[in-house]
Structure 1
Amino acid sequence: MRVGILSTGNIAATMAGTVKQMKEARVCAVASRNLEKAEKFAERFEIPKAYGSYEELAKDEELDVVYVATPMSEHYENVKMLLNHGRNVLCEKSFALNKKQAEEMIHLAEEKGLLLTEAIWVRYMPMWKTLRQVLDCGMIGEPMTATANLCYLIDQVPRLMELKLGGGALLDVGVYVLNFASLVFGNEIESITAKALMTEGGVDAQNSITLTYPGQKMAVLNSSLRVISDRKGVIYGTKGYVIVENINNFESIAVYNRDREQVAFYEQPSQISGYEYEVLACKEALEKGWKECPDMPHAETLRIMAQMDAIREGWGMKYPQER
């Protein structure tokens, strides 16, 4: 599968380095708004074509899929431009700034008959499916409560502190804790309560979200740009509990019974970086003629975007593009 990469930042570099080690795909082109940056990136990862504008890459008909690694504030325009040029797209999380943008992107992909999927990598990983199987087989009885923490010391990253660039903890790391809760309880949410500590620039530096579900079930989620956390997800059931190490890339899943004895343990299989799974999912989708990936269908992307919209509305946090 011939891959193009839009942007030359750190995430783009991880993807390029990953695909370089895969036999199923290769990076054939990279684009930056600065030709020199694109050429340096291309030389670093042995990519044959470097473009000094995004539109040049969009016009490259030899590409099977384009990976969008620009800031979240750019996804809407970048993805639409690519779709209008006939390119299939793998778009980094968060997919868009809000549900309205996401809907427009998805509708355009459907009109054009093109593949469009969100690159929230954990959804495509084998360990995501392993955790689903653990919960479905009843090892911990009925899950009733879940907690998840994902916090990093990243408040020095300029784009994360800029409201106009889609900054804040919610869309960058909070999206992972929301996806974790979705895996455990689904998306039939009865109520959302969320609090945030805001920066002077108007983005959430730290937040805490509580979701309630039918059957008196609850998820308590924390994300932050200013502290280090254990990155754990814990699921409490009627017969035991599960501890997931690193909900951003499940390293292990430990299962405990009602006596707090470990009864099962699952380790992450060897991986290049973890990004390879979303690339393989795109390859399968293109081979089978799918316009979305089953691991992260459009409906799921829209549900998570709607949750983040509701949370930000409660904070009064609007991006300039929404005003």
Structure 2
Amino acid sequence: MRVGIMGAGGIAVKMANTLKEMTEASCYAIVSRSIEKAEEFKEAYGFQKAYGSYEEMVQDEKVDLIYIATPHSEHFENAKLCILNKKPVLCEKSFMVNKKQAEEIVALARQEKVFMAEAIWTRYMPSRKLIDNAIGAGKIGEVISITANLGYDVQHKPRIMDPKLAGGALLDVGIYPLTFASMILGDAIEEIISTCTKADTGIDAANAMILKYPEGKMAILHSSILEATEQYGIVHGTKGYLIAKNINNVDVIEIYNPERELVEEILAPEQISGYEYEVLAAKKAIEEGKTECEEAPLDQSVYMMAVMDEMRKQWGIKYPFE
């Protein structure tokens, strides 16, 4: 499968390095608003084509899948361009900026019968099934609550701090604790209580989120761009608890009994980067004639945008273009 990448920033580099190691997909085209940057990227990572115009790349008949690696603020227009040109889309998280954009782009993809999926890699990884299997086997009993966090000190990055690019902790890193909770407790959230610390630019620099589910189950979540955290996802049950270390790319799963004794350690399989799983899922779906991935249904992506909309509403945060 020949992959084209929109945007030539850091996340595009990670995807390019992943594609280089895959036999099922290849680096085919790179596009940047700067043709010079695109040419440099092409030479550095072994792409066949470099474009200085997004419109040019979507018209290349050889492109089988386009991976959108641009800032959040650009996802809607980039995805729309791909869909209208019948190009399958794998769009980096967060899916869009808000629920309205997500609903519109999903409706367009379904109308045009074009494949689309959110590149929220944790939904595609083997570790997801390992966690599901451990819980399903009753190793920690009935799940009662979840705690999860993800934090990095990345406040020095201009994109993260810029409201015009939909910056902030929530869309960039908060989506991971939210997704962790979603994968285990589902999406029937009954109540959301949240707060944030704002940066001088007006974006959320850190946030705390409490989600209440049916039967009194809860998720207590945190994300930040101010500090590095231990990045654990912890699932508490009636017979013990499970720790998923490094929740945005789980490498180790530990099972503890109620006495806080480690009883089992489960290692995630070796990987290229973790990005390969979303590419493989997209390839499989496209080859089967499907327009979305079963691992990350589009309705779920829309729902997660609605959840984050509610949180930003509670914080009084709107992006300038909304």
Tell me the TM-score normalized by structure 2.
0.99
Deviation at 1:262, TM superposition (A): 2.2
Alignment correspondent of 1:171:
171
CA distance in 1, matches of 2:108, 2:321: 20
* Paired position in structure 2 for 1:224: 224
* Mapped pair 1:151 → 2:151: yes
> Paired residue for 2:162?
162
Q: How far has the Cα of 1:179 moved from its partner?
A: 0.3
- The SS at the match of 1:254 is strand
Distance in structure 1 (CA, Å) of the matches to 2:147 and 2:259:
20
SS in 1 for 2:215: coil
**Aligned with 1:321: secondary structure?**
coil
Q: Deviations over 1:114-160 (max 9, x none)?
A: 10000011110000111111112211111111100100010011011
Q: 1:127: which partner in 2?
A: 127
Letter in structure 1 aligned against 2:4: G
**Per-residue CA shift, 1:224-268, capped at 9, x if unaligned?**
000110001111111110011000100110111223232221112
Q: 1: CA distance between counterparts of 2:243 and 2:52?
A: 46
Q: 2:92 matched to which residue of 1?
A: 92
Distance 1:205 1:282 in 2: 32
Secondary structure of 2:234's match?
A: strand
CA distance in 1, matches of 2:264, 2:294: 28
Q: Please report how far the alpha carbon of residue 184 of structure 1 lies from its aligned counterpart in structure 2 after TM superposition.
A: 1.7
Q: Hey, what's the Cα distance between the residues in 1 that align with 2:56 and 2:290? A: 26
Name stretches of at least 5 consecutive residues in structure 2 with no aligned partner.
none
Residue in structure 2 matched with residue 209 of structure 1 by the alignment? 209
Report SS of the residue matched to 2:18.
helix
Provide the residue aligned with 1:194 in structure 2: 194
Query: Where in structure 2 are the equivalents of 1:20-169 lying within 5 Å?
Result: 20-169=20-169
Q: Give me the whole-angstrom Cα distance separating, in 2, the residues matched to 1:137 and 1:279.
A: 29
Q: Distance in 2 between matches of 1:141 and 1:123?
A: 23
Displacement of 1:214 in angstroms is 1.1
Q: Per-residue deviation at 1:183? A: 1.4
1:211 maps to a residue whose letter is L
2:266 maps to what in 1?
266
**Corresponding residue for 1:299?**
299
Residues of 1 paired with 2:311 and 2:171: CA distance? Answer: 11
Tell me how large the CA RMSD over aligned residues is: 0.8
1:188-213 CA-to-partner distances (Å, cap 9, x unmatched) read: 11110001010121100010000111
CA distance in 2: counterparts of 1:196 and 1:309, whole angstroms: 14
Whole-angstrom distance in 2 between the partners of 1:248 and 1:111: 32
Alpha-carbon distance in 2 for matches of 1:99, 1:190: 18
Q: 1:210 corresponds to which letter in structure 2?
A: I
Identity score, percent: 50
The letter for the 2-side match of 1:300 is Q
The amino acid that maps onto 1:48 is Q
Which residue identity lines up with residue 83 of structure 2 in the other structure?
L
- Which amino acid in the other structure matches residue 252 of structure 1? V
State the secondary structure of the residue aligned to 2:90: strand
Equivalent-residue separation in structure 1 for 2:286 and 2:188 (angstroms) = 31
SS of the residue corresponding to residue 266 of structure 2 reads: strand
- Paired residue for 1:6? 6
CA distance in 2, matches of 1:233, 1:110: 34
Cα separation, 1, equivalents of 2:125 and 2:52: 33
1:102 partner letter? A
Q: Deviations over 1:22-55 (max 9, x none)?
A: 0001111110000000000000111111001111
Question: How far apart are the structure 2 equivalents of 1:104 and 1:160?
Answer: 25
What is the CA deviation profile of residues 54-94 of structure 1, one whole-angstrom value per residue up to 9, with x for unaligned ones? 11111111111000000000000000011111110000000
